[in-house]
């Protein structure tokens, strides 16, 4: 109930619509209680007393009450559905905004399918609860109490007889609620597992086909789907057992009413019309009791979904603006690492990625990072735009601790080309202008030319308006990488980060890109991770990392003269490019 109350709090901005829905619900409820009274009058007066003249009036009254009730039912349903849709609209937007702010460390551990399930299926469950469940819980509760009062007024002793089986029925419903909640929580969780499995398989379908693992993946999905089937059938067995039991108990109450009420009519202590009205109200009393089980089911599913939704919303973004953070003014591009240490959080403990790294990158310098896999190269460039925060030491841009400035102002001045090139399902123009949505076409073309992708784009039937498939499907690795480089260059950043940005292009294309970058990086600070000699030998500083530490630094010639780690890397790997 705590999490459900939190869901309801999102409906506060729409309180006028809530009031309109509640008033309409109360009016419809009141009108539904009128019809059995009209039936009683028809039997006791029009039929038994032979006052046929009022039959027409009573019939018109039934029709009129039903029509008016229909109007209020429409207003109730529309009002509450409006509240539900607007509330879930706000909640879904909040979730999306929150997902945009969560740190890289969160996504290192999160599963895409699980997040998709929470943002779609769980949110939709909450919408059904808000649009239908809440108002029906209130309506059925009020209907139950109102009918109980009317029954007592008609014949209090018969009412007590009718309620003899009620405690047992309520106990069954409560027991059902206790058991069904964990069952539906398991169902929602397994549904998220299905979504995650499906998402991974669709994303990696080329790998699956390449290794002929279709049968394995099919069996894997079937096993996950089997888990969902078993959980769903378990919940269905609960429904199948408890609801016939509730119906049996309520039928027992009806049987007692027929026995005792019939005797009261025969004895003249209850009129036939009142007896018929009593039974009509009794059926109406049983309906909310039966409905209660369905509403309990819906509320339990909503409770399980809301826990998953708010678990996500309550996740601390980790990397965020500090209170009082200021805008970073246009940067000169000086980047300083002061005894920076960093660890990735893992289930088996923290793995040190950087250990006491210190470096100074002066404005306009190119810093090349070399080292084996896991040496800390990517960790260094991830810390500059605050994708992660260091666990020790600090990083300064133009003498300012980057944790003291806003994320937006910092990242607007940093151009990034990540190793895993990602393009959106949009036009090439939109992909290049992603960092500057309002950029002029001339600027986009200039960036594309600098990245040596303009000629390729111009040759396409629709040019820069050509749509890119999901994740850049349809483009080669080198083409995607050059589009990503153009995207970074268009931002005209003071600091440029290239994570192995020429690894997927041929030697000739790499040469042209390097020529363009030499001009475009003038006056900018550039951090470059690369495995080819042409990328590093002209750098102002070359940092050689090993086990999270800088073991050598200097220019190409200086490091070769030392005959240390860099010289070995040059002899074993980089010089092959020079020979080629």
Domains 2-313 and 419-492 share a fold: no
Q: Averaged over 529-558, what is the pLDDT?
A: 84
pLDDT of residue 404: 93
CA distance 372 to 169: 69
Residue 397: what pLDDT?
93
For residue 535, CA distances in Å to 114, 211, 418, 512 come to 40, 34, 16, 12
User: What's the mean per-residue pLDDT of the chain?
Assistant: 82
Q: Inform me whether the pLDDT recorded for 528 exceeds 60.
A: yes
**pLDDT tier, 231 (very low <50, low <70, confident <90, very high otherwise):** confident
Return left, alpha or beta for 467; rule: phi > 0 is left, psi -120 to 50 is alpha, else beta.
beta
Looking at residue 435, its pLDDT comes to 85
Q: Which CATH number fits domain 2-313: 3.20.20.20, 1.20.1560.10, 3.20.20.140, 3.20.20.70?
A: 1.20.1560.10
290-317 mean pLDDT: 81
- Res 347 pLDDT > 60: no
Q: What is the mean pLDDT of residues 349-370?
A: 86
Side-chain half-sphere exposure of 84, counting CA atoms within 13 A: 21
Mean pLDDT calculated for residue range 381-408? 92
Q: DSSP letters along 119-166, please? A: IIIIHHHHHHIIIIIHHHHHHHHHHHHHHHHHHHHH-HHHHHHHTTTH
Q: Compare 132 and 367 and report the one with higher pLDDT.
A: 367
List, for residues 459-499, the tens digit of each pLDDT value: 888 889 988 876 666 777 778 888 888 888 888 888 988 87
| Strands, E assignment, 428-517 | 495-499
Q: pLDDT grade, residue 500 (50/70/90)? A: low
What pLDDT score does 579 carry? Answer: 47
Class for the domain spanning 419-492? alpha beta
- Distance CA(117)–CA(195), nearest Å, equals 6
d(CA 199, CA 179): 31
Residue 176: the pLDDT is 73
- CA geometry: angle 271, 276, 279, nearest 5 deg: 125
Question: For residue 75, is pLDDT > 90?
Answer: yes
Is pLDDT at 180 greater than 60 in this prediction?
Answer: yes
Average pLDDT over residues 356-376: 89
* In the predicted structure, residue 190 carries a pLDDT above the cut 90: no
Cβ atoms 403, 322 nearer than 8 A: yes
- DSSP conformation letters of 228-288: HHHHHHHHHHHHHHHHHHHHHHHHHHHHHHHHHHHHHHHTTSS-HHHHHHHHHHHHHHHHH
Query: Which sequence spans correspond to the domains of the chain?
Result: 2-313, 328-333+359-389+401-413+494-580, 419-492
Mean pLDDT along residues 303-328: 87
How confident is the model over 543-563, as a mean pLDDT? Answer: 89
Read off the pLDDT band of 67 (50, 70, 90): very high
Kindly indicate whether the domain formed by 328-333+359-389+401-413+494-580 is annotated with CATH number 3.40.50.10950: no
Give the lowest-confidence range in 341-345, 490-494, 515-519: 515-519
**Which residues pair with residue 400 across a beta bridge?**
397
Per-range mean pLDDT, top range of 43-57, 215-229, 465-479: 215-229
Q: Is the pLDDT of residue 335 over 90?
A: yes
Number of residues in the chain: 580
Confidence of residue 509 (pLDDT cuts 50, 70, 90): low
pLDDT of residue 357: 92
Confidence of residue 517 (pLDDT cuts 50, 70, 90): low
Question: Measuring CA to CA, which residue among 320, 485, 466, 297 is closest to residue 402?
Answer: 320
Assess contact for 490 and 439: CB atoms under 8 A.
Answer: yes
Q: What is the pLDDT averaged over residues 4-25?
A: 87
pLDDT above 80: residue 108: no
In angstroms, the CA 346 to CA 128 distance is 38
Kindly report the pTM of this predicted structure: 0.72
- The pLDDT-based confidence of 580 (bands split at 50, 70, 90) is very low
Give the best-scoring range by mean pLDDT among 41-50, 198-207, 324-333, 349-358.
324-333
Per-residue pLDDT averaged across 132-146, rounded?
A: 85
Please enumerate in sequence order all residues whose Cβ is within 8 A of that of 391, keeping only pairs 6 or more positions apart, or say none.
Answer: 341, 342, 343, 350
């Amino acid at each position: 109930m705590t999490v459900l109350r939190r869901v309801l709090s999102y409906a506060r901005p729409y309180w006028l619509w809530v009031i309109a829905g509640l008033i309409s619900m109360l009016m419809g409820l009141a009108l539904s209680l009128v019809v059995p009274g009209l039936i009683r009058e028809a039997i006791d007066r029009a039929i038994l007393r032979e006052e046929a003249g009022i039959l027409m009036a009573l019939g018109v009254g039934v029709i009129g009450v039903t029509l008016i009730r229909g109007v209020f039912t429409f207003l109730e349903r529309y009002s509450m559905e409006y509240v539900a849709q607007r509330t879930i609209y706000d909640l879904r937007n909040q979730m999306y905004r929150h997902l945009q702010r969560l740190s890289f460390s969160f996504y290192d551990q999160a599963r895409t399918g699980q997040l998709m399930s929470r943002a779609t299926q769980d949110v939709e469950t909450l919408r059904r609860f808000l649009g239908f469940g809440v108002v029906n819980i209130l309506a059925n509760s009020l209907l139950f109490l109102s009918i109980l009062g009317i029954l007592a007024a008609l014949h209090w002793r018969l009412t007590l007889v009718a309620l003899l089986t009620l405690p047992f029925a309520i106990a069954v419903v409560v027991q059902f609620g206790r058991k069904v909640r964990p069952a539906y929580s398991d169902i929602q969780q397994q549904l998220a597992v299905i979504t995650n499995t499906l998402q991974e398989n669709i994303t990696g379908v080329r790998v699956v086909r390449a290794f002929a693992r279709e049968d394995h993946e099919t069996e894997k999905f079937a096993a996950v789907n089997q888990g969902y089937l078993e959980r769903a059938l378990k919940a269905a067995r609960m429904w199948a057992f408890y609801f016939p039991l509730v119906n049996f108990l309520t039928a027992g109450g009806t049987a007692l009413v027929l026995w005792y009420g019939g005797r009261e009519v025969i004895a003249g202590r209850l009129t036939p019309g009142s007896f018929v009205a009593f039974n009509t109200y009794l059926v109406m009393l049983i309906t909310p009791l039966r409905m209660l089980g369905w509403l309990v089911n819906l509320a339990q599913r909503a409770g399980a979904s809301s826990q998953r939704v708010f678990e996500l919303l309550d996740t601390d973004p980790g990397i965020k603006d500090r209170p009082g953070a200021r805008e970073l003014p246009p940067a000169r591009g000086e980047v300083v690492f002061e005894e920076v240490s960093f660890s990735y959080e893992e289930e088996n403990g923290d793995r040190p990625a950087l250990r006491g790294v210190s470096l100074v990158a002066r404005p306009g310098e190119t810093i090349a990072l070399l080292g084996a896999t896991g040496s800390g190269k990517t960790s260094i460039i991830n810390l500059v735009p605050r994708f992660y925060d260091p666990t020790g030491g600090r990083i300064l841009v133009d003498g300012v601790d980057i944790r003291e400035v806003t994320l937006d102002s910092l990242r607007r001045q940093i151009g990034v080309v990540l190793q895993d090139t990602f393009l959106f399902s949009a036009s090439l123009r939109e992909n290049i202008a992603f960092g500057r949505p309002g950029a002029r076409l001339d600027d986009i073309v200039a960036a594309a030319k600098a990245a040596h992708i303009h000629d390729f784009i111009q040759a396409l039937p629709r040019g820069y308006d050509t749509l890119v498939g999901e994740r850049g499907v349809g483009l080669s690795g080198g083409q995607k990488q050059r589009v990503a480089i153009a995207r970074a260059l268009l931002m005209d950043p003071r600091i440029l980060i290239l994570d192995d940005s020429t690894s997927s292009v041929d030697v000739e294309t790499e040469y042209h890109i390097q020529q363009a970058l030499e001009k475009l990086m003038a006056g900018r600070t550039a951090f470059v991770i690369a495995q080819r000699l042409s990328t590093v030998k002209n750098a102002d500083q070359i940092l050689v990392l090993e086990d999270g530490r800088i073991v050598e630094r200097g220019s190409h010639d200086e490091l070769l003269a030392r005959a240390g780690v860099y010289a070995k890397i040059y002899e074993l790997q980089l010089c092959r490019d020079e020979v080629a």
